[in-house]
Amino acid sequence: MVEKLVEIGILFDFYGKLLSEKQYSVVELYYIHDLSLAEIGEELDISRQGVYDILKRAVENLYQYEETLNLVKKFFKNKKTLEEVYRLALDVEEEARTVDNKRLQCKVNDLKEKIRKIIDINQEGF
């Protein structure tokens, strides 16, 4: 159940703005603010069944967007690749230290900083 909540939260982060206003509100209130269907119904002045139907359709849409666009899959694949490149840069930095190559150490340090910036930018919101 927790995995599903996290998965829908990630999909919502990526694709939430593609939902209708009402779908966006229902998903946000249910998954982010942890309101019950009845509470959401009161808040939005619709029936509990109406909330359920909107929520179900919105979640289906989020999964459909991912199936079509694959942005979440690409994001995590890129993140993994960047982390691997960062680890390689650490290895090269260590190798440069053992041969006492200051110029190479500086270049590797610059590379590490740029990779770290990309990783940090990609982490925003997660």
Structure-block tokens of residue 72: 């979440």
Q: Which pLDDT does position 66 carry in this prediction?
A: 98
CATH code for the domain of 8: 1.10.10.10
Asked if 63 and 110 sit in the same domain, the reply is: no
Look up the pTM and report it: 0.79
Residue-wise pLDDT tens digits, 85-112: 888 888 888 888 888 888 888 888 898 8
Phi-psi region at 101: left, alpha or beta (left = phi > 0; alpha = psi -120 to 50): beta
User: Does pLDDT of 122 surpass 70?
Assistant: yes
C-alpha distances (whole Å) from 96 to each of 49, 85, 86, 91 are 64, 16, 15, 9
The alpha carbon of residue 106 and the mean position of all alpha carbons in its chain are separated, in whole angstroms, by 32
- Binned at pLDDT 50, 70 and 90, residue 56 comes out as very high
Query: What is the total count of domains within the chain?
Result: 2
Asked if 37 and 6 sit in the same domain, the reply is: yes
Asked if 61 and 13 sit in the same domain, the reply is: yes
Boundaries of domain holding 79: 73-123
Asked if 12 and 63 sit in the same domain, the reply is: yes
Q: Which pLDDT does position 125 carry in this prediction?
A: 57
Asked if 109 and 80 sit in the same domain, the reply is: yes
Q: Where are the alpha helices (DSSP H) in the chain?
A: 2-15, 21-27, 37-44, 48-69, 71-98, 102-123
Asked if 13 and 42 sit in the same domain, the reply is: yes
Asked if 35 and 64 sit in the same domain, the reply is: yes
Asked if 29 and 81 sit in the same domain, the reply is: no
Asked if 12 and 61 sit in the same domain, the reply is: yes
